[in-house]
Amino acid sequence: MSKPFEFADFVDEFKVPFTSIVKVNGYWEDGGDWVPGGEKSVEMQGILLPLTQEDLQYSESGTFSVKDKKIYTVEPLEEGQQIEYKGDKYTVQSFKDYSDYADVFIYHARWREK
């Protein structure tokens, strides 16, 4: 079943690269040695936009700043996940769930001071 709003082609046309920092769990190797977890960088693509005046108003997750971004992707992210774009780091703050209507994932990401 198709969605009423199909934006995946729009994301594909205007996408930019960014890096997603994914947490990796530790695991036991076949030889019995423990391999500790950590973080892994994953290259992703999406649309990263500045927030509108409406977005900058107070929201459930707090007040946003002009350095925060709105992210449109065709691959899911997780709240609390770190991303890096143009040398700046962001934390995914909230997911705008339009999954019943649109074929993209929409997030707000908070800029992190360097």
Q: 62 falls in which pLDDT band (50, 70, 90)?
A: low
Q: Which residue has the higher pLDDT, 5 or 10?
A: 10
Domain that holds residue 89: 8-112
CATH number for the domain that contains residue 29 = 2.40.10.270
Residue 92: closest CA among 112, 113, 109: 109
Q: Is residue 1 assigned to a domain?
A: no
User: Distance (Å, rounded) from C-alpha 58 to C-alpha 113?
Assistant: 20
- Does 54 map to a domain? yes
Helices (H), 1-114: 8-14, 53-56
The answer to whether residue 113 scores a pLDDT higher than 70 is: yes
